[in-house]
């Protein structure tokens, strides 16, 4: 079998002719592709298995296809993966990969192993437009949405690399869209990639093992419920609109009441489902007992669990992580009010792979974004930010 590096090189050569990349096509997408080229739709299942299960990218090795079809695919299509630029391993076993998605743009993905699970954290956009004040990805600005191929490629590459790691073979048990970007602002591509993660003939993950994290794009939470109901995590970070408006500027558009109503709808007909609320703890900003009480009241009648994330620092952030006793207090207030709460352990801190530290290499497209970021570096948390119009279509 080709090594991933070989595969990446050969596909890069083919890419010059700009053939169709079959990597990001869902079952329906592939069926349509085969219909258009006059082939029977059942070929779609065969292709999915070769590409995502066998992880074969060379059509000539797809032995249950006719010789003619293999030749035709080789001429017109490709299975193209982005290139891994670097690999960093943390002392705690966390692995961070830098993935090149264009000549001057890279995204990051992270594998976080623990005793029971292997969690892959993937990105959905190059950079991010949301400008949450405590997130390093925001400082990079926004470049573009990833294609469905570039999103599913992260699962493909990580599975392949981990399987080929003879020293430390690991299995991915969970996938979280908690890397760079706001997944619900790249809705169609993210849903296609999610379908490929869940599809039995592709990666075959159970729904509850795939989690999408959003800062709260309310209409798209409802749309996700209709289209592809994976586990939902919501980055809340504040118990009232006044504070959340500052930390997560998207809150001005979709305030807490509307956000929680959408969360309730998301799980209302599934008695076992819970929404995970992420809450990054920022010293002196949102970490008091009063904040915890307010948060508990807000979540009291929701099927919710809370993930407390101690702030992970980056240069000039203007924030600090609260001391351990403050974090423990916060958790106890929630637990005393019967809200299931865990404090997320910082993983991969020594390689900047922790939550909110992913940077990649992002060439921000709009000058506005760069100016805004420069401005923010001067006065952390003080700028009001508007999203590019194309990001706000609901």
CA–CA separation, 388 vs 385, rounded Å?
10
Backbone angles phi, psi at 211, to 5 degrees: -120, 130
What minimum distance in Å lies between the beta carbon of 103 and ligand SAH?
25
Count of residues touching ligand SAH (by CB under 6 A): 17
- Under rule CB under 6 A, which residues in 7-46 are in contact with ligand SAH? none
Q: Which of 7/119 has CB closer to ligand SAH?
A: 119
| Residue 256 interacting with ligand SAH (CB under 6 A) | no
What minimum distance in Å lies between the beta carbon of 65 and ligand SAH?
38
CA–CA separation, 380 vs 394, rounded Å?
29
Sequence-distant (6+) residues with CB within 8 A of 84 are 4, 8, 97, 98, 99, 100, 157, 161
| Residue 178 interacting with ligand SAH (CB under 6 A) | yes
Whether the CA torsion 200, 201, 205, 211 is positive or negative: it is negative
Q: How do the residues of the chain divide into helix, strand and coil, expressed in percent and rounded to 5?
A: 40, 20, 40
Catalytic residue status for 355: yes
Q: Which of 47/236 has CB closer to ligand SAH?
A: 236
- Under rule CB under 6 A, which residues in 100-129 are in contact with ligand SAH? none
| Residue 353 interacting with ligand SAH (CB under 6 A) | no
Q: Which of 19/349 has CB closer to ligand SAH?
A: 349
H or E element, residue 323:
none
Q: Which stretch binds ligand SAH (CB under 6 A): 70-78, 79-87, 94-102, 133-141?
A: 133-141
Q: Which of 281/333 has CB closer to ligand SAH?
A: 281
Q: Which of 52/139 has CB closer to ligand SAH?
A: 139
- Under rule CB under 6 A, which residues in 294-313 are in contact with ligand SAH? 309, 311-312
**Which among 241, 323, 257 is positioned nearest to 288, based on CA atoms?**
323
What minimum distance in Å lies between the beta carbon of 123 and ligand SAH?
9
Residue of 108, 150, 182, 361 with catalytic role = 108
Q: Which of 182/195 has CB closer to ligand SAH?
A: 182
> Which positions from 277 to 296 touch ligand SAH by CB under 6 A, shown as an x/- string?
-x-x----------------
| Residue 135 interacting with ligand SAH (CB under 6 A) | yes
Q: Which of 158/248 has CB closer to ligand SAH?
A: 248
Q: Of how many residues is the chain composed? A: 394
What minimum distance in Å lies between the beta carbon of 18 and ligand SAH?
31
Q: Contact 302/294 with Cβ under 8 angstroms?
A: no
**Which among 336, 342, 337 is positioned nearest to 305, based on CA atoms?**
342
| Residue 134 interacting with ligand SAH (CB under 6 A) | yes
Residue nearest to ligand SAH (CB): 356
Residue 50 DSSP label: I
Sequence-distant (6+) residues with CB within 8 A of 124 are 145, 146, 151, 177, 179, 180, 181, 182, 183, 186, 189, 190
**Which among 392, 387, 364 is positioned nearest to 144, based on CA atoms?**
364
Q: Contact 123/109 with Cβ under 8 angstroms?
A: yes
CA–CA separation, 122 vs 154, rounded Å?
7
CA–CA separation, 126 vs 247, rounded Å?
21
| Residue 182 interacting with ligand SAH (CB under 6 A) | yes
CA–CA separation, 82 vs 86, rounded Å?
12
- Under rule CB under 6 A, which residues in 202-241 are in contact with ligand SAH? 213-215, 235
| Residue 246 interacting with ligand SAH (CB under 6 A) | no
Show which residues are catalytic. Answer: 108, 355
Footprint of ligand SAH (CB under 6 A): 132, 134-136, 178, 182, 213-215, 235, 278, 280, 309, 311-312, 355-356
């Amino acid at each position: 079998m080709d090594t991933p590096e070989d595969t990446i090189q050969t596909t890069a050569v083919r890419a010059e002719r700009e053939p169709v990349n079959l990597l990001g096509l869902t079952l329906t997408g592939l069926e349509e592709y085969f219909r258009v080229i006059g082939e029977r739709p059942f070929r779609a299942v065969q292709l999915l298995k070769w590409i995502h299960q066998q992880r074969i990218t060379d059509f000539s090795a797809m032995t249950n296809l006719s010789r003619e079809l293999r030749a035709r695919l080789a001429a017109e299509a490709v299975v193209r993966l982005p290139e891994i630029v670097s690999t960093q391993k943390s002392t705690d076993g966390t692995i961070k990969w830098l993935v090149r998605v264009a000549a001057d743009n890279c995204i990051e993905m992270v594998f976080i192993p623990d005793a029971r699970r292997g969690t892959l954290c993937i990105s959905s956009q190059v950079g991010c437009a949301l400008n949450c004040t405590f997130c390093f990805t925001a400082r990079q600005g926004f470049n573009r949405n990833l294609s469905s191929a570039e999103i599913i490629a992260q699962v493909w590459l990580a599975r392949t690399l981990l399987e080929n790691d003879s020293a430390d073979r690991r299995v991915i048990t969970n996938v979280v869209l908690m890397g760079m970007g706001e997944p619900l602002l790249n809705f169609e591509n993210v849903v296609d990639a999610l379908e490929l993660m869940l599809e039995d003939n592709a990666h075959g993950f159970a729904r509850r093992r795939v989690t999408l994290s959003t800062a709260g794009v309310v209409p798209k939470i409802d749309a996700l419920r209709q289209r592809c109901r994976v586990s939902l995590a919501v980055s809340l970070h504040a118990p009232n609109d006044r504070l959340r408006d500052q930390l997560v500027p998207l809150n001005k558009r979709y305030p807490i009441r509307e956000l929680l109503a959408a969360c309730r709808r998301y799980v209302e007909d599934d008695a076992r489902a819970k929404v995970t609320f992420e809450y990054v703890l920022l010293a002196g900003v949102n970490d008091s007992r009063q904040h915890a009480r307010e948060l508990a009241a807000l979540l009291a009648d929701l099927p919710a669990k809370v993930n407390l994330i101690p702030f992970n620092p980056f240069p000039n952030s203007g924030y600090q992580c609260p001391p351990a006793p403050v974090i423990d207090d916060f958790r106890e207030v929630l637990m005393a009010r019967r809200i299931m709460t865990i404090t997320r352990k910082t993983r991969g801190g020594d390689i900047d792979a922790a939550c909110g530290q992913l940077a990649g290499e992002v060439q921000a497209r709009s000058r506005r974004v760069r100016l805004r970021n420069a401005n923010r570096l001067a006065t952390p948390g003080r700028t009001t930010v508007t999203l590019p119009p194309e990001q706000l279509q609901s």
